[in-house]
């Protein structure tokens, strides 16, 4: 209810319904003191009242003459079902939830903005309904989805497919959010789908169709894009399902407001790798001899490697200087898990770059002593991070898989495999199958042998 200003007359004049023409301690005609003269008073008006008859459009002149009245058409369908869904979702993303099961900290702060978007898109409503049910079952130890969760998931996929057939809906922020939410829900519904996040390719296509909007004025869309960049980059890193041009990758990975990516310096290094792999493969295939082009790519890779080494050093200092007493009790675990995760991802990025460098140089002994040391450090961080299982340290699964590429000593490989088994069992209920075959494909990909 906005306040609408009224007159500035004193209380005495207003009661006598006299015109105010004097400002002083006492009114000359009424012989009464002037109380409250010159003060701005307000009466409150319901902002949801529409001054126009039903079905009649609001003209521009009328809109200008009613500055304190909202004339915009409502966009949310606030039914009892939507209200119940909103309440259930807010409970799921509460900050009071332990970091081991907390959704926003592990999957993105954009989830805090989703409740305001419920009721606008059937696809987003169905996706959130699925996530709430799947997460609730996961928190009580149900690692295998029940019939209700599977039914909701199937319905959400059907509704999303229907919305994506509509060109206008397919480009909306709500549809993009629905895809990202379903990719999170898939981790609970299909925990053994470790090979790829299948919905991420669809998200990348939506981003391409609607245009790259890294600097949107809408906080929800801006947070959504920043969150979805990580899954898209990792999907492109591990598979060929996402093929952006060099220009598109540059726009997509443009540096954003640092407030959104605290401690995420490693991301800007790993985000360069998908395009680097594409250009390196093109140079090996198209140019004969490719020496000049490969030399340029080799210098670029070495530059990224130096950047990630600096990031690793910075993250080590942050972890070593971490003081749990410097944070509020409810955030101390979050910051510790954050430092472990960011350092682990930085080390994994360094291992990938060493693999690519070996492929560009044409050497068979691409595993450097440096990568071996980084693999051992990832194993050490993973042992510490076990106290945040299952969701609070889920990122360590990817770090451990990449650490296998850099491990040299058999004892280190066995330790990493044992840790990976423990993490996958804690997070997914059972170890993932086909990990060795996946690692061989990943090794060939990073060393540019899968031409």
pLDDT tens, N- to C-terminus, the chain (451 residues): 444 445 556 766 666 666 655 455 555 555 666 655 555 454 444 444 444 444 444 444 434 443 333 333 335 666 788 999 999 999 999 988 889 999 998 898 899 999 999 999 999 999 999 999 999 999 887 777 789 999 999 999 999 999 999 888 888 899 999 999 999 998 888 876 544 446 888 888 888 888 776 677 888 888 888 888 888 999 899 888 888 989 899 888 876 554 444 567 888 899 999 999 999 888 888 776 667 788 889 999 999 999 999 999 999 999 999 888 877 777 778 889 999 999 999 999 999 999 999 888 877 565 678 999 999 999 999 999 999 999 999 999 999 999 999 998 999 999 999 999 999 888 887 776 666 677 788 888 888 887 6
3-state secondary structure of 82: helix
Q: pTM value?
A: 0.78
Q: Which two tokens stand for residue 176?
A: 């993009």
Q: How far apart are CA 303 and CA 273, in angstroms?
A: 12
3-state secondary structure of 32: strand
Q: Which two tokens stand for residue 412?
A: 């280190």
Q: How far apart are CA 103 and CA 111, in angstroms?
A: 8
Q: How far apart are CA 228 and CA 260, in angstroms?
A: 12
Taking phi first (over 0 means left), then psi (-120 to 50 degrees means alpha), and beta for anything else, what does residue 184 get?
A: alpha
The crossing angle, in degrees rounded to 10, of helices 395-406 and 410-428 is 160
**Residues 205, 184, 89, 262, Cα dihedral to 10°:** -90
Beta strands in 86-147 (DSSP E): none
Exposed / middle / buried, residue 21 (Cβ in 10 Å: 0-12, 13-18, 19+): exposed
* Cα torsion angle, 348, 352, 357, 358, sign: positive
């Amino acid at each position: 209810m906005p306040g609408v200003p009224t007159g500035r007359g004193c209380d005495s004049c207003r009661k006598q319904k006299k015109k105010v023409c004097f400002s002083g301690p006492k009114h000359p005609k009424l012989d009464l003191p002037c109380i409250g003269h010159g003060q701005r008073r307000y009466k409150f008006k319901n902002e949801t009242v529409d001054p126009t008859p039903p079905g009649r459009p609001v003209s521009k002149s009328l809109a200008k003459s009613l500055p304190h009245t909202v004339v915009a058409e409502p966009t949310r369908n606030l039914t009892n079902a939507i209200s119940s869904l909103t309440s259930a979702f807010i409970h799921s993303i509460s900050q009071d939830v332990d970091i081991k099961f907390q959704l926003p900290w592990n999957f993105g702060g954009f989830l805090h903005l989703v409740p305001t978007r419920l009721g606008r898109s059937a696809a987003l409503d169905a996706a959130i309904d699925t996530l709430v049910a799947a997460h609730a079952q996961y928190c009580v130890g149900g690692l295998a989805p029940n019939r209700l969760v599977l039914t909701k998931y199937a319905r959400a996929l059907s509704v999303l497919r229907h919305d994506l057939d509509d060109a206008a809906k397919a480009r909306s922020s709500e549809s993009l959010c629905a895809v990202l939410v379903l990719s999170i829900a898939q981790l609970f519904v299909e925990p053994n789908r470790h090979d790829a996040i299948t919905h991420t390719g669809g998200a990348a296509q939506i981003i391409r169709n609607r245009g790259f909007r890294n600097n949107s004025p809408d906080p929800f869309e801006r947070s959504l894009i920043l969150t979805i960049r990580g899954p898209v980059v990792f999907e492109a890193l591990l598979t060929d399902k996402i093929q952006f041009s060099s220009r598109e990758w540059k726009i997509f990975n443009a540096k954003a407001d640092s407030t959104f990516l605290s401690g995420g310096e490693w991301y800007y290094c790993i985000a360069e790798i998908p395009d680097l792999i594409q250009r390196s493969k093109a140079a090996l295939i198209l140019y004969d001899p490719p020496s000049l082009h490969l030399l340029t790519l080799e210098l670029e890779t070495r530059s990224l490697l130096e950047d990630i080494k600096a990031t690793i050093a910075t993250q080590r200092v942050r972890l070593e200087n971490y003081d749990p007493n410097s944070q509020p009790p409810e955030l101390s675990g979050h910051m510790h898990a954050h430092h472990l995760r960011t350092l682990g991802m930085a080390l994994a990025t360094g291992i990938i770059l060493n693999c690519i460098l070996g492929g560009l140089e044409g050497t068979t002994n691409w595993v450097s002593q440096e990568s071996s040391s980084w693999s051992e450090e990832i194993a050490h961080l993973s042992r510490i991070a076990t106290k945040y299982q299952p969701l609070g340290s889920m990122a360590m699964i990817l770090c451990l898989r990449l650490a296998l590429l850099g491990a040299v000593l058999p004892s280190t490989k066995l330790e990493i495999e044992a840790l990976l088994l423990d993490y996958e069992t804690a997070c997914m209920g059972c170890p993932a199958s086909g990990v060795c075959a996946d690692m061989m494909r990943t090794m060939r990909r990073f060393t540019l042998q899968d031409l």
